[in-house]
Amino acid sequence: MKSIYIHIPYCRSRCTYCSFVSGAPHETMRLYVRALVSEIKDRLTGGEISSIYVGGGTPSVLYRGALTEIFDTVRSRCKVAGDAEITVECNPDSVTADFVDELVKTGVNRVSIGLQTDNDALLKFVNRPHDKSGFLKAYTLLSPIENKSVDLMLGLPMQTKDDLLSSLDLVTGLGAPHISLYALKVEEGTVLYQSGFTADDDFEAELYDLAFEYLRAKGYDRYEVSNFCKDGKLSKHNYGYWDLIDYYGFGVSAHSYLDGYRIANTDNVSKYIGGNYEAERVDARDDRAEEYIMLSLRTSKGLDLNRLTGYGVDLLRTKRKEIDEFVKNGFLTLSNGFLRLTDGAFYVMNGIIASLI
């Protein structure tokens, strides 16, 4: 089974930390959706799909009918599994009753809402197009779709521990089954980067630990470094990335992973509309072992050593010394053929992974 990612490069406003392709002029929307449909028709030929994720940008700013057209196209080209997870990202300000209606009608069964923080002053500072009350309104409108995820951010400029706790209180109080907690990354070329803001890694780590403890106490399981869920409501789609399943990426700047090839679509909306979808195709068939190491260790399930052996790497032979050292120092555990990061090691995993690949 494969999964599908669809990128919508439109937003009402641009957040100061954003480095995604999201700023396309809204007049191009219809042309874009037409191109998207045609890309899906071109590339999607049969097979069964286990999850679809529409992200952005802000899919909720699409005109009514756009999602219907997109999903109809997908369904006409392949079989979407009966239990498929179908997620659409939305921003609180563009969630309307019509929109929710369209989601339900098109079979969307999961939404991911970008809140980031419930502090209005901070939201304004990073140029988010909504406030806390807008979020609450949208959350209520979206009640027909039970499986909700809320995005929060760590390390926003001026964000305090209390800010974070307040946001967590709000979201867990609403009973959201899934929370993504992303650390702010100051990417080159963003407004925030130009403003000279630099992240305070130590404080960010403190915030992360705080959130981790908080969510654990509330019954949320950290199944991946930035993702928490309760009652097993993990994001099947995102999990697929860490599990090396094949996926199509449709739309501008989308990435696909098919039969060991990693394909990147163009970042340029005009080119995309003109029908030049693909920008780069890399043969990653020999990278499978390395990719599995770096992706699987992000999850609480951890790295299946047997599976890795199937990719041609016997880590217990090639990296025994490193593994023993990490285990001894309490950064890794090794049990039942699985290698896992300990709780304390999740936020410093890059160094560990770099030693194992």
Partner 1 sequence: MNRLEKIRNFCIIAHIDHGKSTLADRLMESTGTVALRDMTDQLLDSMDIERERGITIKLTPVRMKYVRDGVEYELNLIDTPGHVDFNYEVSRSLAACEGALLVVDATQGVEAQTLANVYLAIDNDLTILPVINKIDLPSADPESVKREVEEVIGLDASDAPLISAKEGLNIGEVLDKIIDFFPHPRGDEDAPLKALIFDSYYDNYKGAVCLVRIKDGKVKVGDKICMMATNMTYEVTEVGIFSPKPTPSDILSVGDVGYICASIKNVSETAPGDTITFAENRCSAPCPGYKKVLPVVYCGIFPADGSKYNDLRDALERLKLNDAALYYEQENSAALGFGFRCGFLGLLHMEIIEERLEREFNLDLITTAPGVNYKVYKQSGEVVTVTNPSNLPPVQEIDHIEEPIVSADIYTPPDYIGAIMDLCQEKRGEYKDMVYLDKTRVKMSYIIPLNEIVYDFFDSLKSRSRGYASLDYEIKGYRESDLVKLDILLNNEICDALSIIVHREKAYQRGRSLTEKLKEVIPRQMFEIPIQASIGSKVIARETVKALRKDVLAKCYGGDISRKKKLLEKQKEGKKRMRQVGTVQVPSEAFMSVLKLDDK
Report, in angstroms and rounded to the nearest whole number, the Rg of the chain calculated over CA atoms: 21
- Do 237 and 3 contact (CB within 8 A), yes or no? yes
User: CB 224 → partner 1: shortest distance, Å?
Assistant: 9
Residue from 165, 264, 279, 316 binding partner 1 (CB under 8 A): 264
Site string for partner 1, 292-321 (x = CB under 8 A): --xx--x-----------------------
Cβ neighbours for 122, distance < 8 A, ≥ 6 positions apart: 156, 157, 158, 159, 163
- Do 182 and 130 contact (CB within 8 A), yes or no? no
- Binding flag, residue 163, partner 1 (CB under 8 A): no
Q: Residue 277 and residue 36: Cα distance in Å, rounded?
A: 9
206 versus 304: smaller Cβ distance to partner 1: 206
Q: Residue 108 and residue 222: Cα distance in Å, rounded?
A: 25
Site string for partner 1, 190-229 (x = CB under 8 A): -----------xx-xxx-x----------------xx---
Residue from 32, 135, 272, 346 binding partner 1 (CB under 8 A): 346
The verdict on whether omega for the bond into residue 47 sits within 30 degrees of 0, i.e. cis, is no
- Binding flag, residue 111, partner 1 (CB under 8 A): no
User: CB 75 → partner 1: shortest distance, Å?
Assistant: 21
Residue from 77, 185, 271, 288 binding partner 1 (CB under 8 A): 185
Q: Which residue has the tokens 């999607």?
A: 44
Residue from 31, 136, 334, 353 binding partner 1 (CB under 8 A): 353
The arrangement of strands across the sheet holding 2-8 comes to: 221-224, 227-229, 178-183, 148-154, 110-116, 79-90, 48-56, 2-8, 247-250, 255-258, 261-265, 278-283
Q: Could you list the residues that contact partner 1 (CB under 8 A)?
A: 5, 7, 20, 55, 182-183, 185, 201-202, 204-206, 208, 225-226, 241-242, 247, 249, 253-257, 262, 264, 287, 290-291, 294-295, 298, 325, 329, 331, 345-355, 357
